């Protein structure tokens, strides 16, 4: 199938065995975001022998040549999102500025091995599309964006200082990095934890050494930088999109963190 016909397409594949996966994907030159949920997959990637195991996430770029071996077991289960150049461009613009460049570049495709909470969450994310109509491309795009961000952009490894807090707090901390969460009003963000504001604030400070309000503002400013660089929205629109109550508050937080006003940042970032 020619690439042009697949440029703006995204599809979901859940396969029992790598042969079923290869039959579904075919030989398209497209981006492939794979999650190995069970078993071991043996393959060559760009001529190099590789072995992917349970909990591995692999991001194959459109020019990566991946061929699976027949000795990969029939019990190997692979979930994948496959998409064209147009969808990749949309995802790059949607996520923080330039953040997919390192994942898309390089000689070898990026691979991460997840464990614990991160692995469970990614498995839920990558199996959820099976229960959604194949025509719901918006859901597939959001899933791809979330998994790419978690695994290859933020690499939300559980930091050492988060080893002792309860599991719900670790999941809450990871949830805060979603743009549809940190742009909510602060009271709503706190309410997502299901705990009192005082308790969350104290636990967050104790675990991270940082105020939760400062953490939220940092996430918003990072998102604003992405929009300034990659969108045509004006500064006021961006300030509201990022969750700031007014333009004055946006400027108050932006300049000290970035070292320049938003308009200047936009001009400079677009010249780079």
Q: Give the tens place of pLDDT for each residue, 42-51.
A: 888 888 888 8
Answer yes or no: is pLDDT of 70 > 70.
no
Answer yes or no: is pLDDT of 163 > 50.
no
Predicted model pTM: 0.56
* CA angle centred on 243, ends 162 and 266, rounded to 5°: 100
- Of 26-30, 244-248, 264-268, where does mean pLDDT reach its minimum? 26-30
Query: Tell me, what's the pLDDT at 236?
Result: 96
The token pair at 268 is 């400079």
> Is 163:200 a contact under the CB 8 Å cutoff?
no
Query: Tell me, what's the pLDDT at 229?
Result: 86
The token pair at 164 is 């002792």
Query: Tell me, what's the pLDDT at 158?
Result: 46
- Residue scoring higher pLDDT (247 or 90): 247
> Is 247:236 a contact under the CB 8 Å cutoff?
yes
Q: How many CA atoms, within 13 angstroms, populate the side-chain half-sphere of residue 28?
A: 25
- Average pLDDT rounded to a whole number, residues 203-230: 88
- Average pLDDT rounded to a whole number, residues 5-12: 82
For 74-127, the pLDDT digits (tens) are: 568 889 999 988 888 888 776 655 556 555 666 777 888 887 777 888 888 899
Query: Tell me, what's the pLDDT at 217?
Result: 94
For 52-68, the pLDDT digits (tens) are: 888 899 998 888 888 87
- Average pLDDT rounded to a whole number, residues 126-133: 88
Give the distance from CA 237 to its chain's centroid.
Answer: 24
> Is 83:31 a contact under the CB 8 Å cutoff?
yes
Residue closest to 121 by CA, chosen among 191, 172, 60, 184 = 172
Answer yes or no: is pLDDT of 253 > 70.
yes
- Average pLDDT rounded to a whole number, residues 154-175: 65
- Residue scoring higher pLDDT (5 or 68): 68
pLDDT band at 181 (very low <50, low <70, confident <90, very high): very high
Query: Tell me, what's the pLDDT at 99?
Result: 54
Query: Tell me, what's the pLDDT at 164?
Result: 59
pLDDT band at 27 (very low <50, low <70, confident <90, very high): low
Give the separation between CA 244 and CA 247, rounded to whole angstroms.
7
Strand 48-52 to strand 41-45: parallel, antiparallel, or no bridges (unpaired)?
Answer: antiparallel
> Is 154:179 a contact under the CB 8 Å cutoff?
no
CB neighbours (10 Å) of residue 98? 14
Query: Tell me, what's the pLDDT at 103?
Result: 59
Answer yes or no: is pLDDT of 12 > 60.
yes
Contacts for 250 with CB less than 8 Å, ≥ 6 apart: 224, 235, 238, 239, 242, 244, 262
- Domains of the chain (ranges; CATH) run 3-153 (2.60.120.280), 158-272 (1.10.10.60)
Query: Tell me, what's the pLDDT at 68?
Result: 76
- Residue scoring higher pLDDT (221 or 68): 221
- Average pLDDT rounded to a whole number, residues 156-183: 73
């Amino acid at each position: 199938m020619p690439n042009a016909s697949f440029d703006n397409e995204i599809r979901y594949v859940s396969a029992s065995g790598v042969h079923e996966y290869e039959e579904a994907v075919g030989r398209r030159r497209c981006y492939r975001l794979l999650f190995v949920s069970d078993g071991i997959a043996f393959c060559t990637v760009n001529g190099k022998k590789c072995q992917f195991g349970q909990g591995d996430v692999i991001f194959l770029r459109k020019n990566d040549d991946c061929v699976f071996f027949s000795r990969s077991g029939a019990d190997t289960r692979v979930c994948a999102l496959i998409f064209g150049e147009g969808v990749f461009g949309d995802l790059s613009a949607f996520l923080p500025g330039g953040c997919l460049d390192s994942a898309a570049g390089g000689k070898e495709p990026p691979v991460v091995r997840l464990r614990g909470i991160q692995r469970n969450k990614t498995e839920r994310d990558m199996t959820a599309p099976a229960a959604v109509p194949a025509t719901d491309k918006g859901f597939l795009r959001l899933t791809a964006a979330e998994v790419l961000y978690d695994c290859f952009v933020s690499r939300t490894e559980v930091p050492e200082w988060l080893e002792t807090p309860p599991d719900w707090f670790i999941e809450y901390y990871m949830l805060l990095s979603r743009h549809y969460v940190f742009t909510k009003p602060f009271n709503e963000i706190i309410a997502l934890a299901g705990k009192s504001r005082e308790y969350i604030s104290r636990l967050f400070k104790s675990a991270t050494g940082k105020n939760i309000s400062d953490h939220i503002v940092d996430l918003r400013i990072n998102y604003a930088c992405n929009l300034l660089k990659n969108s045509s929205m004006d500064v006021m629109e961006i300030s509201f999109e990022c969750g700031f109550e007014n333009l004055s508050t946006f400027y108050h937080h932006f300049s000290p963190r970035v070292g320049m006003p938003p308009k200047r940042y936009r001009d400079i970032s677009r010249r780079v």
